[in-house]
Amino acid sequence: MSEIPVTAAYFRSLNERNQNELAACFTDECEIHSPFGSAPYNGRDSIRNMLHDLTDPWQHLKLIPKSAYRTGDRIAVMWMAEGLGKNGAQVAFEGVSARLEEYWDVRAALKES
């Protein structure tokens, strides 16, 4: 996958658990649903909380972008995740991020952690 700077920064900040870098990927008016259907995270301060919420169940979690589809100022990224739950269980799951509505099965991911 060829890297798009903001996409690369987004995945790097998630993997490094860097709240400030993650927040810098978005505007103050952003709204993120992760996973899709969950209550939104609104604005950069909320994004910092999102990172904690997403990574807290795991000792280690790595998100790997697999392919990206861009049109104009929009992008959709297919990704996979692998990691280690706090209980020592291995986890692996896939998802799609689009308009920063992320589609992944939180129950299946957390079942292993």
Q: Helix axis angle, 43-55 relative to 5-16, nearest 10°?
A: 50
Q: What is the CATH number of the domain that holds 105?
A: 3.10.450.50
Alpha helices (runs of H) in the chain, residue ranges in sequence order: 5-16, 19-24, 43-55, 106-112
Structurally, how many domains does the chain consist of?
Answer: 1
pLDDT in tens, the chain (113 residues): 555 678 899 999 999 999 999 999 888 888 888 877 889 999 999 999 998 988 898 999 999 999 988 887 778 899 999 999 999 999 899 998 876 555 556 676 666 55
- Residue range of the domain that includes 36: 5-112
Q: What is the pTM of this model?
A: 0.78
